């Protein structure tokens, strides 16, 4: 190919970013329930619930325990 040839015509357009995954509310609730130490028949304080929700949210994309593993 000659050096003077216009190489811009060979440039591919930028890839579009992948779509962000979406989840059903039932999947999200199941994920949160998995993080609760005793999800049923156990009364939790507001602080315990906040901790469970924070830990579940922090680990949503975890490879081993994230929402996609449910």
Q: For all residues of the chain together, what is the average pLDDT?
A: 83
C-alpha dihedral sign at 49, 55, 57, 62: negative
Q: Give me 50's structure tokens.
A: 């906040």
Q: Does the pLDDT at position 3 exceed 70?
A: no
Residues 6 or more apart whose Cβ sits within 8 Å of residue 16: none
What are the pLDDT digits (tens) for 37-70? 876 788 889 999 999 899 999 998 888 888 888 7
Q: pTM of this prediction?
A: 0.63
Q: Does the pLDDT at position 15 exceed 70?
A: yes
Q: Is 44 in contact with 36 (CB distance < 8 Å)?
A: yes
Q: Would you kindly state where each structural domain of the chain is located, as residue ranges?
A: 21-69
């Amino acid at each position: 190919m000659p050096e003077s040839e216009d190489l811009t015509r060979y440039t591919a357009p930028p890839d579009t970013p992948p779509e962000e995954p979406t989840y059903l509310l039932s999947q999200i609730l199941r994920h949160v329930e998995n993080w609760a130490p005793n999800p049923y028949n156990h009364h939790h304080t507001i602080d315990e619930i906040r901790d469970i929700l924070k830990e579940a949210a922090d680990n949503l994309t975890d490879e081993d325990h994230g929402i996609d593993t449910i």
